[in-house]
Amino acid sequence: FSEVTRTHPTVDLVNHTYAEYVGWTLMAVGMLLVASSFYRLGFMGTYMGDYFGILLDEKLTGFPFNVVDNPMYWGSTLNFLSIAV
């Protein structure tokens, strides 16, 4: 991914300082979503999930799960988008 973004042609609008601020903001929000969902789920909830019958007692409704349904997916997508910007 990094190699493709380095070698791909760029648009002059993206080379502006504001685009860098947008990229850093997207990265910060993405990292916040991923890190906070990992904290809320814990190691077992994140990596084992329901594959081994390790389920949480109840559905999580606090942050970040009250903002988006799948915060790890959205956070990762925002991180990739920030690198592309």
Break the chain into its structural domains and give their ranges. Answer: 2-6+17-84
Q: What is the pLDDT of residues 53-82, one digit of tens each?
A: 777 778 888 898 899 989 999 999 999 999
The token pair that represents 85 in the structure block: 């910007």
User: From CA 52, how far away is CA 7, in angstroms rounded?
Assistant: 42
DSSP element (H, E) containing 7: helix 2-7
What's 12's DSSP letter?
G
Q: What is the pLDDT of residues 4-55, one digit of tens each?
A: 777 877 777 666 788 889 999 999 999 999 999 999 988 877 777 767 777 7
| Residue 37: exposure state from Cβ atoms within 10 A (0-12, 13-18, ≥19) | buried
